[in-house]
Structure formats: structure tokens, C-alpha cells
């Protein structure tokens, strides 16, 4: 069995770098206002920071 954890932070005023500094770790994905979304013609309206973890029965893939 696998479990997934996803934490997303969105902001119109705080940059992805500032989010990383405040949280104390790098995101798995980050983007800025105006960036083009993957596989789409949509432009991002907010800065974003995403942490994604997949957990198997024996623990998380990423250590903190």
C-alpha cells in the first residue's frame, strides 16, 4: 500500500524562494506568476511551491 502527501503553498506576493526560506526546505516543484503550465497554454496567476511525498509501508522516500 502507498500513501501520498502533498503540500502546496500559493501566493501573489511571496516568491517560491521566500517560501523555501520560510519553510526551511526546497519544494519538489516551484513556479512564478506568468510561468506557463506544463502541457497547457495557461499562465500561472500565483507563485507556487509544492512538496510531494510518496510513502510505502516502511517510511517516506525523503529524509528531513
Summarised one tens digit per residue, pLDDT across range 6-42 is: 999 999 999 999 999 999 999 999 999 999 998 899 9
Q: Are 47 and 11 in contact (CB under 8 A)?
A: yes
Phi-psi region of 24 (alpha: psi -120 to 50; beta: other; left: phi over 0): left
The predicted pLDDT at position 7 comes to: 95
Q: How far apart are CA 28 and CA 45, in angstroms?
A: 19
Phi and psi angles of residue 16, each rounded to the nearest 5 degrees, phi first: -55, -35
**Residue 5 pLDDT grade (very low, low, confident, very high; cuts 50, 70, 90):** confident
The predicted pLDDT at position 62 comes to: 59
pTM for the model? 0.76
Amino acid at each position: 500500500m502507498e500513501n501520498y502527501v502533498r503540500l502546496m503553498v500559493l501566493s501573489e506576493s511571496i516568491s517560491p524562494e521566500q517560501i523555501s526560506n520560510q519553510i526551511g526546505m526546497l519544494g519538489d516543484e516551484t513556479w512564478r506568476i506568468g510561468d506557463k503550465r506544463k502541457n497547457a497554454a495557461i499562465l500561472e496567476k500565483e507563485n507556487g511551491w509544492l512538496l510531494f511525498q510518496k510513502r510505502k509501508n516502511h517510511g517516506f522516500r525523503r529524509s528531513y
